[in-house]
Amino acid sequence: MAILEMQNISLTYQTRGGETDALKDVSLSVKSGEFIALIGPSGCGKTTVLSLVAGLIRPTAGRVTVEGKEVVGPSPRVGYMLQRDQLFEWRTIEKNVMLGLEVQKNVTRESRAYALGLVEKYGLKDFLKSLPKELSGGMRQRAALIRTLAFRPEILLLDEPFSALDYQTRLAVCDDVHGIIRAENKTALLVTHDISEAISTADRVAVLSARPARVKNIYGISLPGTPLQRRENPGFSKWFDIIWKDVSV
């Protein structure tokens, strides 16, 4: 059974100049533990899809369900990781990690122990009292992911989470974050402009058309290993060529 369903989703924005169709009849089914990447032309509506799944906006037509229940607003079942880490510079890493739990008024002995367990598990225990400026870009992104994981969402929405990093750091952090998501057996929906990133991380890549976005094709990526290992696989370039041509049309 799918954990996430988008069923014939359409979205029309009302503007001063009239109506703008952002999405048109988008359907996508995501299984528990699956990693899906969304790619498409700039401005086609990829981030809009994440906003619908997060319950930040409602579709004009169709419906989004998580575990069979319609999404009508934000839910702790869905975690959102933005383009930048959004760590508060005046808070320690420990306090940043706890922020989501504080907002939900859910800082209990159990939830705190779980969050600190993630910190230790993923190598940030020695930096709990550090400020974000004292961490590398990769460590900051790891802290941001742990903050999101701390309230135990079933689904993670990733909106170009590596785009602010330089190329070499981006490769390493992508591998790092992907490994954590896999280890925690989370379902993930990644928005990216980077075809290589999509192929190296995802079980399936969904290609969206230009606005109003529709799902043009979905590709099952049959490459084993971590993102770095996938990039070195001889079959990587074949998938890149196929998807690049689809995105470019």
Q: What is the pLDDT of residues 46-92, one digit of tens each?
A: 999 999 999 999 999 999 999 999 999 988 899 998 777 889 999 99
* Confidence grade of residue 208 (pLDDT, cut at 50, 70, 90): very high
* Confidence grade of residue 239 (pLDDT, cut at 50, 70, 90): very high
Looking up tokens 């689809």, which residue turns up?
246
- Contact assessment for residue 49 and residue 26, using Cβ atoms and an 8 Å cutoff: yes
What distance in Å separates the CA atoms of residue 113 and residue 97, rounded to the nearest whole number? Answer: 12
Label residues 68-83 b or e (16+ Cβ within 10 Å = b).
Answer: eeebeeebebbbbbbe
Query: In the predicted model, is pLDDT for residue 17 greater than 80?
Result: no
Query: In the predicted model, is pLDDT for residue 134 greater than 90?
Result: yes
Q: In angstroms, how far is CA 105 from the centroid of its own chain?
A: 24
What mean pLDDT do residues 192-215 have?
Answer: 94
* pLDDT for the residue 20: 84
What mean pLDDT do residues 21-37 have?
Answer: 94
* pLDDT for the residue 84: 78
Looking up tokens 């975690």, which residue turns up?
79
Mean pLDDT for all residues in the chain: 91
Rounding to the nearest 10 degrees, give the CA dihedral for residues 60, 62, 68, 72. Answer: 10
* pLDDT for the residue 196: 94
Residues whose CB falls within 8 Å of the CB of residue 59, separated by 6 or more in sequence, listed in order: 9, 10, 11, 23, 52
Looking up tokens 């070499």, which residue turns up?
168
In the chain the beta strands, taken as DSSP E runs, fall at 2-15, 18-31, 35-39, 61-66, 69-70, 78-81, 155-159, 187-191, 204-208, 215-220
Query: In the predicted model, is pLDDT for residue 173 greater than 90?
Result: no
What mean pLDDT do residues 224-240 have?
Answer: 94
Edge-first strand listing for the sheet containing 69-70: 18-31, 2-15, 61-66, 69-70
* pLDDT for the residue 162: 81
The percentage of residues in the chain with a pLDDT greater than 70, rounded to a whole number, is 100
What distance in Å separates the CA atoms of residue 20 and residue 12, rounded to the nearest whole number? Answer: 5
Half-sphere exposure of 88 (CA within 13 A, CB side): 11
Comparing CA positions, the residue from 98, 97, 95 lying closest to residue 106 is: 98
* pLDDT for the residue 50: 95
Domains of the chain: 1-74+191-249 (3.40.50.300)
The 10 Å Cβ neighbour count of residue 240 is: 16
Query: In the predicted model, is pLDDT for residue 164 greater than 80?
Result: no
pLDDT in tens, 116-125: 999 999 989 9
As given in the structure block, the two tokens for residue 143 are 């802290």
* pLDDT for the residue 200: 95
What mean pLDDT do residues 201-214 have?
Answer: 94
- Contact assessment for residue 25 and residue 214, using Cβ atoms and an 8 Å cutoff: yes
| Residue 33 Rama label (left phi>0; alpha psi -120 to 50; beta) | left
Looking up tokens 């990039």, which residue turns up?
231
